Each structure stands twice: as C-alpha cells, then as structure tokens.
Amino acid sequence: MGSVEFNHVYKYYKGESNPSVHDFHLTIEDGEFLVMVGPSGCGKSTTLRMLAGLEDVSKGDIYIDGKFMNYVSPKDRDIAMVFQNYALYPNLTVYENMALGLQLHKVAKHDIELRVNRAARMLEISAYLTKKPNQLSGGQKQRVALGRALVREPKVFLMDEPLSNLDAKLRTQTRMEISKLHKQLNTTMVYVTHDQTEAMTMGTRIVVMKDGNIEQVAPPQRLYDSPDNLFVAGFIGTPQMNFLQGTIATHDGEYFFENKRLKLKIHDSYIPHIKAANRKIREVILGIRPEYVACEGWALEAYPEWQASAIIDMIEPMGSNTFLFATIGKDTVISRAEPHTPIQIGETVKLVIHMDKAHLFDCESGVSLAVRGDR
Amino acid sequence: MIRKIRKQMTLSRVVLIVFLSCIAVFMLLPIIFLFNNAFKPLNELFLFPPTIFVQHPTMRNFEQLLLHTAAGVVPFSRYLFNSLLISGITLVAVVLVSTMAGYVLSKHRFHFKRLIMALIMISLMFVPETVMIPRYLMMSGLKLTDTYFAHILPFIAAPVAVFLMKQFIDQIPDALVESAKLDGATDMTVFTRIIIPLTAPAVATVCIITFQAVFLDTETSMNYITNETMKTMAYYVTAFTSNVPGVAAVSISAAVGLLMFVPNLILFLLFQRKMIQTMLHSGVK
Ligand SMILES: Nc1ncnc2c1ncn2[C@@H]1O[C@H](COP(=O)(O)OP(=O)(O)O)[C@@H](O)[C@H]1O
Ligand SMILES: [Mg+2]
C-alpha cells in the first residue's frame, strides 16, 4: 500500500522570488510507476525531495498512504531513495551498505541476512558483498544502490536520475531491469529523469514538468499521440516533432492550414476542435511527427491535398530507417523514410504531411486546440 | 619486479632521491642528538667539540630529574602528571566539540549559520597575545585561576579545529547524509557511523595540532596559575632551563628535553599516515 497525494504543493527556496515548484497537484496510485520528466532545473528533484522529507513544503500538503506527511521526518516516512551518484557509504562494505537501513529499523539479524542475500541475488551482486564501494564499477554501484533501497521493502521507491551516470548500453539494460523489478514488486515508484526515452519506456504514467509547473500528466502513448501543448509535443519524441507556423483559413466551408508556401486541408476529425475553440481565423502552429511526413510515391498519389514541396538539406541514415531533413521555405521539416531511399541531398521533392495525424497549437499560448477549456 | 624498478630509475629520479635523502638525514640530526644527549654522562655533555653519539650511556640524568624538586616542594612527577592530564582531557574535548560543531555547521540548515561561521573565521585571525588579558579577566572573574579549568577551557574554543573539520565534512556529499536519514538514521547515528569514519584523517590532524598546542603551552601556567602544583611540564622546562644555574641544570635539561619530545613523537607516529592523507587530497570521493 503506497499511494501518494500532492495537494497543491508549492516550494519557494529561501531568497528566490519565483517558486521552484508551482501548484503541484497529483495523486499517485498504489503500485504505479510514475515518471517525472522535464528539462534540467524544472523542479523534479525538488518535488521528489519534498516527498522524501528532505525539503520543507512551502505550501500545500503531501500524503503518503493517506497519512499527512508534511512534518514527518524522512526516516519515519517508510520510503527508500536511489540517488544520482549512488550515495553509497564508502566506509562500509556492500553488505553493510545494504544492511544499515534494516539494522537501524531493528530488523532481526537473520532476517537482515535473508533479505540482503535475496536482493543481492536478484540484482546479481552476490559476488561483491564483501567489497567496498570504491572497488566497484559504476554499474555495480548502481545495483548496490538499488539493492539498498530494495531490502528496505518500503511503501514508495524514489529515484532521482539513477541512470544518468551510466554509459548508454548499461543504461538501457538497467532501465529494463528496473521495469522488471517494478513488475515483480508492484511497489509504487516515483522516478525522476530528464531523458524522455527513459520516461517513455519505463513509466505507467508520465508527468512532464517545466519551470516548476506540470505541463501534462498522461500514460506514455497518450503523451506521444496527443500532447496538450507545444512544450510536451517538442519534448517527447526523437527526432523532435516538426513545427510549422501558419493560419487557419476557410474556403467554401472547408478548413485549411495556410502559410506562404503551404496550403493543407485540415482533417475532418480536427474540425470540431477548431469550432469549439470558437474564434474564426487565428495564428496557429502545426505539429507533425517525422513518421507522418512521407515522401513515398504511393502516399503522393493517395493524398494530393496534403502535399508540400521541399528541398532536401541533409540525410541521416540510422540503419533501420533514414531521416530526411528538408526545408519548406524557412522551416526545417524532418521526415522518416525507408532505409534505402534513392533521394539525394539538394533534390527538390514532394512531401506528404498526414494531416489526420497533425496537431494544431495556439500560437500565443502554445496550447493544443484539442485541449478544451474544461481541462 | 627488479626490471620494473630499473625502468623507473631515470637519472633525474636518482638525483632527486639522493638529494631528498640527504635533507631527511639532516632533518633527523636534532632528534638523534636529543636522544643521545639524554643518556650522556656529565663529562660527555660538556665535551668539546661535542659529539653526536653517546659513548657511555647512563640513566643518571633521569635520576637527577626525578630527584629534583622545583621551588623546593613540587616534585617533577607532579608537572608531568599535570601535563598529561590536561593534554588528555583537552584532546578529547576538542575532538568532540570540533567534529560535532563541524558536522552541524556543514550539514545542517539553521538561523544565523553564516554569522556563526563569520565569528569563527574572525576568531581565527586573533594573535594569542591580544586575547591574553581579556582571557585573564574572564578566568579570574569566573574564579577559575589556579584550577585545571584555566588550562583546559581556553583550548576548547578551537576555531582552527572547527574550521578544519567543517571544511573536511563539506566534502562528504550531502546525498550520503540524506541517504542515511532515509535509511532511518538519527543525527547521532549519521555522525558516528558515517561522518567520523570518513573524517578520520582530519580528526587525526586535529589531535596532533591540539596536543602540540596544549602540551607545549607555557602561557597558561605563567599567567593564570600561581599555585606551583598546578603548573605544567612545559612551564617547568622553560623556567628550569632559564633560571637554574650550574652544572646540574645541563644534565637535567638533557633528560627533560627528551621527555618533552617523546609524547609528540608517539602521537605523530600514531596518526602520521592519516595526517598525510589530509594533506594529500583532503577529500572523500
Ligand atoms: N537548495 C536550493 N536553493 C535554492 N534554489 C534551489 C535549490 N535547489 C534547487 N534550486 C532551484 O530550484 C529549481 C529546481 O531545481 P531542481 O528541482 O533541482 O531541478 P531538476 O531536478 O528538475 O533539474 C532550479 O531553478 C534550482 O536553481
Ligand atoms: Mg535534479
């Protein structure tokens, strides 16, 4: 049992006029794997540290398992945290590192042994139990840090960028292991990262943050498919979503996205949103993911009303597919193409922009037109 | 193995090692001289030109020392006892105070922390002479003159030690302390299980500098103590060597010189490795 509730939480650091965390309001269900993601300095760590009790809450309430936590000291919150630089005690062996928390909670000695050994086996660190942390590699230290949290069997696991000190390969591997661990244990985890890949692959739900504000909370696929605003749209997904500036125009009752070089018919499914937005013509930004910008012949034939001509600037073969960097006027558009594309740099091509997958954002506020006022 | 050593032995290295060895031997000379002097019979002490090594070692100098009583009543052993007692208590007190203060100043957030740090920094700048008279007024006001407190209390306010400990504890990552707290540790547990083991080199350094300062201090005995039985060995030695004329003084001072030196040596040998660590990288990575 480990639900967490943030009730309009604010954090003002001493001497700072702007809040580092602004109106953080969220309920985390028991057993959820919640990922907080956002650029560096957006307040993720601060939020996590408030939950851990390492920072005071300036305003608002935090509940763990229904209990009011604001004034409970960290050691009594029944949580375990994994830090970015592991924070292993250098003077203790791996075994002692993992056992310390249990000793301090007065767990019986044989029980400690049992739990440490079980966690060590799970994380494949049994061979290092007698070593000191400085004799371990980064990946091994990381596992010990995880193990130390694991043996505690807490209500909630907190992790603050635990993988950012590992190299790419190890990161992918450990990422999967943490996900697996979560499935086994089914304990609530709150995971902080600035890496959107980690967020997408691990989270059952993702909180995107920016400048202390929550931008959107949604499961990974929802976040990808229907971002609430420009920031989320640009932050999630590599390569980034393409953005084109323009206006919405009506011709003979039909809606079009227009700018100097483009005139694309807006898909029927989007028209209710435009109508609901309830202003006639306005500046908008069109967002389209690279996989929905096509250059293949069949697409050109199928969607004549969604075409744009572009000049190919650069080609990035990734092996499994190729990214084409094209310019339409001043804007750069990335298109995901087949791996063996015959297209050459400098060529002028026709691109199909799949308007049924496009997003329209209000130019001023950056909010998606698909987001209604009630949200 | 040998080949490996040979490979490292470039000419410049050899020159450097020889040069440094010479300096080391030269630095060692006074110590060798001190040890030998203490065991020289009277005639060898007055030998000219003086020799470094003793030819007929004898314990006579120490016998003289033990028999000698200053001011006619106080035996030498009383001074020795005073010195060891005062140094011991002060050492323990300073280590306790400075490590705890260092931990709190480094890892806790509280009001007036910057002010307190500033005060400690300022007190670092005072020359001992400037505080001598105010200190005397405080001691006599508190009626602590002629007590062991007069020896011990002034040394417990050790800004150097607090500052050193704070700087050293600063290098322990905050995450380590936070992690321990989440593990269920109280401040006392963090302090004893994490902070102290990780700052052992700094503690050793504090021990050495404190012991030297206290053990070699003569000012306290001179200024705040009138009762001869409450004075220390360091005072006895300076007073003795500068006041007592005659042949006997030379033999006694030879013995007492060694006695003054030995506790320092023992402490240094005990903590030397740790202390060198402090100087080398003074850090916990
Ligand atoms: N101890 C502190 N004192 C003052 N400001 C802080 C402190 N810690 C963090 N901040 C500020 O709070 C904001 C959020 O920081 P943080 O939560 O660490 O961001 P993130 O973990 O998302 O990178 C940053 O602008 C940072 O400058
Ligand atoms: Mg952070």
Axis crossing angle, helix A94-104 with helix A109-123, rounded to the nearest 10: 130
B118 SS3 class: helix
Nearest chain B CA: its distance from A161 CA (Å): 13
Tell me what pLDDT residue A375 has. 41
Domain boundary among B33, B58, B83: B58
Q: In terms of domains, do B104 and B18 share one?
A: no
Closest by Cβ to B181, choosing from A75, A134, A152: A75
Q: In terms of domains, do B49 and B110 share one?
A: no
Ligand 1 atom closest to the CA of A38, numbered from 1? 22
**What does pTM read for this prediction?**
0.84
Q: Is the pLDDT of residue B242 over 90?
A: no
Nearest CA to ligand 1 atom 1: A13
Q: In terms of domains, do B101 and B129 share one?
A: yes
Q: In terms of domains, do B43 and B85 share one?
A: no
Residue ranges, comma separated, of all CATH 3.40.50.300 domains in chain A are 4-234
Tell me what pLDDT residue A7 has. 96
Is 2.40.50.140 the CATH number for A239-362? yes
The total domain count for chain B is 2
| b/e sequence A89-113, b meaning 16+ C-beta within 10 Å | bbbbbbbbbbbbbbbbeebeeeebe
Contacts 24+ apart (CB under 8 A), A134-142: A134/A90, A134/B285, A136/A94, A138/A165, A138/A166, A138/A167, A138/A170, A139/A166, A139/A170, A139/A174, A141/A86, A141/A88, A142/A86, A142/A166, A142/A170, A142/A174
Strand runs labelled E in chain A? 4-11, 21-28, 33-37, 59-64, 67-68, 79-82, 156-160, 188-193, 205-210, 213-218, 242-251, 254-259, 262-265, 283-288, 293-294, 307-317, 322-328, 331-337, 348-353, 359-362
Alpha-carbon dihedral angle through residues A197, A198, A204, A205, given to the nearest 10 degrees? -70
CA distance A37 to A51: 16
**Cα dist. B285→A89, A132, A139, B75, B202 in Å?**
11, 13, 17, 52, 15
Nearest CA to ligand 1 atom 3: A13
Q: In terms of domains, do B181 and B100 share one?
A: yes
On whether the CB atoms of residues B161 and B206 are closer than 8 A, the answer is yes
The domain that holds B204 is classified in CATH as 1.10.3720.10
Nearest CA to ligand 1 atom 12: A20
B185 SS3 class: coil
Residue ranges, comma separated, of all CATH 2.40.50.140 domains in chain A are 239-362
Tell me what pLDDT residue B284 has. 41
Helix (H) or strand (E) holding B175: helix B174-182
Tell me what pLDDT residue B69 has. 67
Cα–Cα nearest to A312, from A322, A303, A321: A322
Axis crossing angle, helix B76-107 with helix B148-156, rounded to the nearest 10: 30
Q: In terms of domains, do B86 and B226 share one?
A: yes
Inter-chain CB proximity B178 and A100 less than 8 Å: no
Look up residue A340 and give its DSSP letter. Answer: T
On whether the CB atoms of residues B201 and B278 are closer than 8 A, the answer is yes
Sign of CA pseudo-dihedral B268, B274, B275, B280 = positive
Q: Is the pLDDT of residue B245 over 90?
A: no
Query: Predicted confidence band at B285 (pLDDT cuts at 50, 70, 90)?
Result: very low
On whether the CB atoms of residues A23 and A35 are closer than 8 A, the answer is no
Interface mutation vs chain A, best among B111, B113, B183, most A CBs within 10 Å: B183
Could you identify the residue written with the tokens 């500046």?
A283
Interface mutation vs chain B, best among A81, A84, A134, A142, most B CBs within 10 Å: A81
Q: In terms of domains, do B116 and B231 share one?
A: yes
CA distance A204 to A173: 18
Interface predicted TM-score (ipTM) over 0.90: no
CA distance A139 to A174: 8
Amino acid letter, A63 = Y
| Domain at A4-234, CATH homologous superfamily | P-loop containing nucleotide triphosphate hydrolases (3.40.50.300)
Strand runs labelled E in chain B? 69-70, 74-75
**Tokens found for residue B278:** 């402090």
| Domain membership of residue B44 as a residue range | 2-58
A243 SS3 class: strand
CA distance A57 to A49: 10
pLDDT, one tens digit per residue, over B54-63 is 888 888 888 8
Q: In terms of domains, do B126 and B197 share one?
A: yes
Give the pocket of ligand 1 (CB within 6 Å): A 13, 16, 20, 38, 40-46
pLDDT in tens, chain A (375 residues): 689 999 999 999 988 889 999 999 999 999 999 999 999 999 999 999 999 999 999 999 999 999 999 999 999 999 999 999 999 999 999 999 999 999 999 999 999 999 999 999 989 999 999 999 999 999 999 999 999 999 999 999 999 999 998 899 989 999 999 999 999 999 999 999 999 999 999 999 999 999 999 999 999 999 999 999 999 999 999 899 999 999 988 888 888 999 888 899 999 888 888 888 766 557 899 999 999 999 887 888 888 889 999 999 999 999 999 999 999 988 899 999 988 888 899 999 999 999 999 999 988 888 998 886 544
Q: In terms of domains, do B257 and B275 share one?
A: yes
Q: In terms of domains, do B150 and B69 share one?
A: yes
